[in-house]
């Protein structure tokens, strides 16, 4: 009996979370007539493809999606290298200032882009990178979350491995590249998922960093649909569906790593 209740409650939660998506998928395939029809039309047969056609051929959507995928992948790739190197340094190497830097990064870990818009924009402007891909790629590299994650993973590796390698005369970089990295691969995957998702959803910095049409990212472009086009539920629904396709596919394929995104915080306890 308790089992049944548990499942019922979970079904309710799942329905509340998922229902809006089904509603929106159905809406994306409706024309204006069905959308504004009373009594409501649940599913339009035959489905209307005009919304998607307009989205894919008439708006900047494909470009926005491309930009986001490009930026997210680049940031992820770069950060995997940068953060694992820095994490290795903080975990296993000794140098002056290590403790100060560690505390500094920890303190600024949660500082948001939102509070730093003014100086960030000013710095980007002075570096002449506003309205370039660099403006989208470089600032996110500053976030120290990845460093801590990597440090945590690398700390767990036994010291004997590196000792043995050093005795054999392997270079420091060799130790990092050929011994440490392969051993923390699961951590790298989790980090990649976290960074990619974060970049995919990022809005406020791209909003101010790039304003040229061909450099808009997905979130900013879709926001523009709301600002410029007036009410168009069909188009918005299509935009919502298409925006979620890549992330849904990734999520489905890498569920465990995605869920580790929030578990990473809990396990840190």
With b for 16 or more beta-carbon neighbours within 10 A and e for fewer, the 169-202 pattern comes to ebeeeebbeeebbeebeebbebbbbbbbbbbbeb
Instruction: Single out the residue of 239, 249, 198, 197 nearest to residue 218, CA to CA.
Output: 239
Which range touches other proteins (CB under 8 A), out of 49-57, 181-189, 194-202?
A: 194-202
**Cβ distance to other proteins smaller for residue 47 or 246:** 246
Does the footprint of other proteins cover residue 237 (CB under 8 A)? yes
Rule CB under 8 A: say whether 168 interacts with other proteins. Answer: no
Position 35 contacts other proteins (CB under 8 A): yes
CB of 52 vs other proteins, minimal distance in Å: 15
User: Where do runs of H (alpha helix) occur along the chain?
Assistant: 2-28, 32-35, 50-53, 61-92, 98-107, 117-126, 133-137, 145-155, 159-167, 172-174, 181-183, 185-201, 204-209, 218-229, 233-253, 255-267
Whole-number minimum distance, CB 9 to other proteins, in Å? Answer: 6
Is position 118 an interface residue for other proteins (rule: CB under 8 A)?
A: yes
Q: Minimum distance from CB of 57 to other proteins (Å)?
A: 20
Q: In the window 72-111, what residues touch other proteins (CB under 8 A)? A: 81-83, 85-86, 88-90, 93-96, 98, 101, 104-111
Question: Taking the complex as a whole, how short is the minimal distance between the CB of residue 148 and other proteins, in angstroms?
Answer: 11
């Amino acid at each position: 009996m308790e089992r049944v209740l548990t499942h019922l409650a979970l079904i309710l939660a799942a329905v509340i979370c998922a229902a809006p998506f089904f509603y929106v998928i159905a809406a994306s395939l409706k024309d204006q007539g069905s959308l504004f029809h009373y009594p409501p039309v649940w599913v339009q047969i035959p489905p209307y493809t005009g919304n998607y056609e307009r989205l894919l051929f008439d708006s900047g959507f494909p470009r926005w999606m491309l930009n986001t995928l490009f930026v997210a992948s680049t940031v992820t790739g770069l950060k995997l290298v940068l953060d694992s190197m820095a994490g290795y340094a903080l975990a296993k190497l000794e140098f002056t200032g290590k403790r100060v830097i560690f505390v500094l990064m920890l303190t600024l870990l949660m500082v948001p882009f939102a509070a730093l818009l003014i100086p960030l924009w000013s710095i980007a402007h002075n570096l002449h990178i506003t309205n370039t891909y660099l403006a989208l790629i470089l600032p996110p590299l500053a976030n120290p979350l990845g460093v801590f994650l990597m440090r945590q993973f690398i700390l767990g590796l036994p010291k004997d491995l590196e000792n043995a390698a050093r005795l054999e005369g392997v270079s420091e970089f060799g130790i990092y590249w050929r011994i440490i990295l392969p051993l923390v691969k699961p951590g790298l995957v989790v980090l990649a998922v976290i960074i990619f998702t974060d970049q995919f959803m990022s809005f406020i910095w791209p909003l101010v960093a790039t304003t040229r049409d061909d450099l808009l990212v997905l979130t900013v472009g879709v926001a523009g649909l709301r600002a410029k086009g007036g009410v168009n539920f069909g188009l918005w629904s299509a935009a919502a569906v298409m925006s979620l396709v890549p992330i849904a596919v990734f999520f489905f394929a890498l569920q465990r790593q995605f869920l580790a995104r929030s578990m990473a915080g809990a396990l840190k306890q």
